Structure 1
């Protein structure tokens, strides 16, 4: 059974007073296996952000099914949704979403605190995680005292400390310089090789070229999929660029 199953997903937004309906997602279908590293790409307005919000259980679809580990998240009651997200999903955002009044350590602990885990368990998890992410020596610092790359690695630690079924990343390199971007993508590669499933929405061809598979969204549909196979990152970069050109010019894409 796939880890994530998306079937006939639709999302229609109705404007104020119901004057106009906008179909953001028409009929989206795909699956992700446990341990996969998948990127989602598409032009602005293609529906990829709407898709991520639904997969993250931050928005409800108009129709269709989203199953994570066999559970249809579209049917989870609102009162239980936050707990389900904490227990099964990790999130990495473009703008880090760290609390400036908390140290990096306390930011990372936050989802476990909300789950009422004991300090010893939280500390033990972080002791294993922090050296892998290169943040062991800055845990007592506050977000405003560290670089963007260090903030993002702390955000990754916060996402991973709950041992989530899937890591959802929304433009994770968007606020980083080229050096920090390379470090973060290398980090994603390492955690994926350790078995972590990753789904990343990105505009960056460089970021997407590190994934095992790229889904291209256009007009609310999965327009094309590109599999890495034996391609190098540079070969993936070129192939993704070609496919994006096809999306914008209306040509046919090829695997």
Structure 2
């Protein structure tokens, strides 16, 4: 059974006065297996942000279904959705979403505090994650005292500390310089090799080349997908760039 099973998603937005409808997603179906690292790419307005919001249980589809480990996310009662999102999903955002009045340690602890975990359990969970991410020495610093790359590492630690089924990353390298981006993507690769499932939305072919599979969204549908398989990262990067060119120039849909 797939970890994430997306079935025939459709999303239609109605304008303020109900005069017009905009179809953001048409008929999106795909699966993600446990332990995969998948990137989603597409031009602005292609529907990838809408898709991510639905997968994050932040929005509801007009029709279709999303199952995580066999459980329908689209049928979870509203009063339970926040706890489900906190316990099952990890989030990494472009702008870090850290609280400046909290130390990095307290920012990372926040989802576990909300879940009512003890300080002893929170600390025991944090130690190995902090070592893996190389932030053990800066946990007592505040976000404004560290670099963008260090902030994003703290955000990744916050996503990992709940032991989520899947990490959803939205343009995680968008606010980082080239060196910090490379370091973060290498960390994602290491985390994935340890078994963590990752779904990343990105505009960057370089970032996507770190994934094992790339799905391309166009006009609200899955237009094409490619697998890394035994390719080198450079070869995979070239495949991704070629696919983006086909999409940008109006090429035919490929399965």
Shorter-chain TM-score range: over 0.9
Per-residue deviation, residues 198-231 of structure 1 (Å, max 9, x unmatched): 0000001110001000000000000001010111
Find out whether 1:14 has 2:14 as its counterpart. Answer: yes
Matches within 5 A, 1:140-151: 140-151=140-151
Aligned residue for 1:198, secondary structure, equals strand
Runs of 5+ in structure 2 lacking a partner?
none
Checking the alignment, whether the CA contact within 8 Å between 1:8 and 1:65 is kept in structure 2 is yes
Per-residue deviation, residues 166-197 of structure 1 (Å, max 9, x unmatched): 00000000000000000000000000000000
Aligned residue for 1:111, secondary structure, equals helix
Checking the alignment, whether the CA contact within 8 Å between 1:94 and 1:170 is kept in structure 2 is yes
Name the residue aligned to 2:76.
76
Name the residue aligned to 1:85.
85
Name the residue aligned to 2:207.
207
Write the distance in 1 (CA, Å) between the matches of 2:103 and 2:19: 47
Name the residue aligned to 2:3.
3
Write the distance in 2 (CA, Å) between the matches of 1:108 and 1:115: 13
Checking the alignment, whether the CA contact within 8 Å between 2:223 and 2:254 is kept in structure 1 is no
Name the residue aligned to 1:27.
27
Write the distance in 2 (CA, Å) between the matches of 1:90 and 1:220: 24
Name the residue aligned to 1:245.
245
Residue 252 of structure 1 deviates from its aligned partner by: 3.6
Aligned length: 255
Checking the alignment, whether the CA contact within 8 Å between 1:246 and 1:253 is kept in structure 2 is no
Write the distance in 1 (CA, Å) between the matches of 2:209 and 2:254: 16
Matches within 5 A, 1:88-107: 88-107=88-107
Name the residue aligned to 1:189.
189
Write the distance in 2 (CA, Å) between the matches of 1:204 and 1:232: 17
Residue 150 of structure 1 deviates from its aligned partner by: 0.1
Write the distance in 2 (CA, Å) between the matches of 1:153 and 1:4: 25
Per-residue deviation, residues 55-99 of structure 1 (Å, max 9, x unmatched): 000000000000001110000111100000111000000000000
Change (3 A) 1:102 1:133: same
Per-residue deviation, residues 22-75 of structure 1 (Å, max 9, x unmatched): 000000000000000000000000000000000000000000000001110000
Q: TM-score, normalised by structure 1?
A: 0.99
Write the distance in 2 (CA, Å) between the matches of 1:254 and 1:58: 30
Residue 128 of structure 1 deviates from its aligned partner by: 1.3
Aligned residue for 2:138, secondary structure, equals coil
Name the residue aligned to 1:157.
157
Name the residue aligned to 2:230.
230
Q: TM-score, normalised by structure 2?
A: 0.99
